[in-house]
Amino acid sequence: MFSLVRPIAALAACAGFTLSAHALELAKYPQVFVAPQGVEVVLAPSADGKQALVRVSGINDPIDKVVFLSNLEQQGAGREVYSTRIDGRNYGLLHKNHQPYRGGDQYVVYLPGKRDGVPLAFHEEKTKSFKVADLQTSFERQQKQGLQDKLARFDRNKRLAGVQADLTKTDQEASAACGVPVKTTVDWASIDDEKLQTLSIGSFCGVVASQLESMCSNTPAFKAKASSLGQVQCRFAPELKIRVEGSQVVFSTEKDAPNQDDFVRQFLRNQ
């Protein structure tokens, strides 16, 4: 199963994190990076090198053009991460990877909701013409409007809607493969905010439908069994369990259980 820690590559303790730029002295020279489809990232480090103002633009996301005050964190040899508070957690928005044998430093931006980072290229002309004072003015104006504070708070309803969309897509794929309706329902009360923030709940609770789709696609004879296994209830519990109760497959999972795909696949084969 997938953890949301992986794509951001850096979840840090929030102690000491601040969203205030009061008395922040910026270094003289910012940097501007670009990527395909009009993505642009501005990095303006502080004079002491411990923080930076970071702005991402050209994306269809609420963080577009918002200026964040980010803390610089060392993530092992050769990697630095500019992290900021987004959706209730410290999020590694911009990564700097030092690659001395591959052209020097490489910058990668990790956009919310995306697993893979977007490589960036340094843009010399935009960097030369960029005015760091304008960036700081934008930050202070947005701060007064409360934009950064709003984005920093965890939005449970938004996350639930995203998870439900993922589950619906998995159910639809299983239904098409098996020729019978497949529907996954979730006991949301068993999933606290921490799990929603750090785990890919759609992957955990979608595993039964995903395995149904795989088995129906690869073993046509299994479709006859699938007709009685299409109603799935998922919840988080202290241990991994799966059983049939009445007309439902009741699946209990937990974040550290190994080989959940194999566990579910073996159960379905034995039905």
Compute and round to an integer the Cα radius of gyration of the chain.
23
CA dihedral (187, 193, 195, 201) in degrees, to 10, reads 50
Letter string b/e over residues 189-216, b meaning 16 or more CB atoms within 10 A of that residue's CB = eebeeeebbebbbbbbbbbbbbbbbbbb
Give the residue-averaged pLDDT of 45-67. Answer: 95
Instruction: Give the three-state DSSP class for 53.
Output: strand
Residues above pLDDT 70, as percent of the chain? 90
* Cα–Cα distance, 61 to 7 (Å, whole number): 17
Give the residue-averaged pLDDT of 56-69. Answer: 96
* Cα–Cα distance, 218 to 105 (Å, whole number): 45
Q: Cα separations (Å) of 105 from 16, 54, 83, 203, 224?
A: 27, 17, 18, 34, 56
pLDDT in tens, 178-226: 999 999 999 999 999 989 888 889 999 999 999 999 999 999 899 998 9
* Predicted TM-score of the model (pTM): 0.65
The single residue listed with the structure tokens 């606290």 is 192
For the ranges 120-124, 140-144, 156-160, the lowest mean pLDDT is seen at 156-160
Residues 53, 44: contact at Cβ < 8 Å?
Answer: yes
Residues 26, 45: contact at Cβ < 8 Å?
Answer: yes
